[in-house]
Structure 1
Amino acid sequence: MAEHENAFPLPALPSLEQARAMCAAARAVPGACQLSSQVKMLDQVHESIITMDLSGHITGWNKNAEKMFGYTAEEAIGKHILFLYADPDAEEDAEFRDTAFLGETGHEMEVRRRRKSGEVFWASLQLSLSHDETGRPVGIIGYLSDITARVETEKTLRLHARIFEFSQESILITGPDRRILSANPAFTKMTGYTEEEVIGRLPTLLRSARHPLHFYEELWRCVEETGSWHGEIWTRRKSGEDFPSWASISLVRNREGRICNYFSIFADITERKAAEERIHHLAYYDNLTGLPNRALLHRLLEQALAAARRYRRSGALLFIDLNRFKPINDSLGHAAGDRLLQQVAERLRAAVRTEDVVARLGGDEFVIALFDIARREHAARVAQKVIDALEPPFRIEGHTLRVGAAIGISIYPRDGNTPETLLRMADIAMYRSKEAGQTGYMFFSREMNRQALERLRLESGLRQGIAQNELRLVYQPKIDVASGRIVGAEALVRWQHADLGLLPPDTFIPIAEETDLITDLTGWVLDAALQQVRAWNEAGLPAFRIAINLSARDFLPDLPERLQGLLERHRVAPDRVQLEITESLLTQGNAQVTGLIESLAALGVSLALDDFGTGYSSLAYLKRFPIDTLKIDRSFVKGIPEDENDCAIARAIVSLAQTLGLHVVAEGVETQAQLEFLSRLGCQEIQGYHFSPPVPPATFAAMLKAGLTLQPR
Structure 2
Amino acid sequence: MLFSHLNNRQSKILVVDDEPTSLLVMTEALGDLGEVIGCASGVEALGVAFSFRPDIILLDIEMPNMNGFEVCKAIKQNPLTALSIVIFVTSHNEQIFEYQSFENGGVDLIHKPVDLNLCRLRIVNHLKMKQQEAQISTAKDDVAALIAQVPVFISYWSVQELNLFNNDMTCQWFAVSGNEMIGHRAKDILPDDLYLALHNCLEEQKPQEVLNVPFVDPSDNIEHVRAQINLQFHEGQAVGVILTLTDITSIKRTKKLLAAESERLRVMLNSIGDAVIATDNEAHITFMNPIAEKLTGYSAQQAQAKHIDDVMKLTDAYSGQNLVNPILLALRENRIVAMSLNSQLTALDNRVYRVEDSAAPIRDDDGRVSGGIIVFHDVSESVAMAVKMSHLANHDLLTDLPNRVLLYDRVSHACKVAKSKEQQVALILIDIDHFKYLNDTLGHQQGDLIIKLVAKRLESLIDLNYTLARIGGDEFAILIPEIKLTSIIDVIATDIINTMSEPFKIDEQPYILSVSVGISIYPRESVTAEDMMTHADAAMYKAKEQGRNRFCYYSDDLEHQFKQRQSVEKLIRTSIENDKIEVYYQPKVALGSQKIVGVEALVRLRDTNNQIILPVEFIPLAEETGLINALGESVLKQSCYAAKEWLDKGFRIKVAVNISAKQFTDKNFCNFVAQTLQMSGLPSELLELEVTESALMEDFEVTKSMLNDLAVLGLTIAIDDFGTGYSSLSYLKLFPVDVLKVDQSFVRDMMVDSQSMDIVKTITSLAHSLSLLIVAEGVEEKQHLNKLIDLGCELGQGYYFYKPMPKEEFDKLLV
Alignment TM class, shorter chain as reference = 0.3 to 0.5
Larger RCO: 1 or 2 (CA < 8 Å, sep 6+): 1
TM-score normalised by length of structure 1? 0.46
Q: Which has the larger radius of gyration?
A: 2
TM-score normalised by length of structure 2? 0.41
